[in-house]
Amino acid sequence: MAEMKVVEKIMAANDQIAEQNRRLLDERGIVTVNLMASPGAGKTSLILCTVEALRGRLRVGAIEGDTASRVDADRVATAGVPVVQINTGGGCHLDAPMVRYALNRLPLDEIDLLLIENVGNLVCPAGFALGEHVNVVIASVPEGDDKPYKYPGMFSVVDAVVINKTDLLPYLDFDMVAFRELIAGLNPEARIFEVSCKTGEGIEAWADWLAGMCS
């Protein structure tokens, strides 16, 4: 019997396809954002607000990931956005092959900014590269200010944190200072955007940040 040293990263197969996706997106000049959040944090609402805020400035496309249904894709399509729905059939995250499938079905020549709505889950989406340029997590005020304690794997890898539903701050015990302190300690490079998809507050700064990456 012999022990053989291997030291090979698991998920190399996914990472390889993610790299191919990234190359395709780079060739087409499409900036791609992986939007991750719990179910109900407002991923689809943020996509709709972003589309409105960028109308006339950038052409937005979307990939909608869900375990089942076309509900989200239909909402986004109504806004005139080219969209592909991926149903993972119970799977808890999108992976690179699913995104490749979607890219083959999107009019890439008509898209400047691609928003990928990952499956509602704060655990495994952080571990699966898709080919994206930017990773964003949306946390919402009703979920509480202690989310980073529970999901450090997610909050430590993202480029930006969007805090949605700030219109509910007066009614809930969400401590924004403590939340920002946790993010700053774990991931000081992450941009933090406070927004309300309900009132539109803060959306402009978020949309400007995205637009800045596309120029």
Partner 1 sequence: MHELAITEDILRVAVEHAQRAGAQRITAINLVIGDLSSIVDDSVQFYFDFLSPGTLAEGAQLHFERVAARFRCRECGQEFTPQDRDWRCPRCQAVGGEVIAGKEFYVDSIEVE
* Residues found near partner 1 in the complex (CB under 8 A): 1-14, 90-93, 95, 123-124, 126-128, 146, 149, 152-153, 156, 181-182, 184-186, 188
Nearer to partner 1, 10 or 212 (CB): 10
Conformation bin of residue 155: beta by default, left when phi > 0, alpha when psi is -120 to 50: alpha
CA distance linking residue 30 with residue 34, whole number of Å: 13
Q: Is the dihedral of CA 184, 190, 191, 192 positive or negative?
A: negative
Nearer to partner 1, 90 or 107 (CB): 90
Of 33, 49, 38, the closest CA to residue 139 belongs to: 38
State in angstroms the smallest separation of the CB of 87 from partner 1: 14
Token pair 């990263």 in the structure block, residue = 9
Instruction: Check if the beta carbon of residue 42 is closer than 8 Å to that of residue 140.
Output: yes
State in angstroms the smallest separation of the CB of 60 from partner 1: 28
Nearer to partner 1, 18 or 195 (CB): 18
State in angstroms the smallest separation of the CB of 213 from partner 1: 24
Nearer to partner 1, 10 or 109 (CB): 10
Q: Largest alpha-carbon pair distance within the chain?
A: 66
State in angstroms the smallest separation of the CB of 151 from partner 1: 9
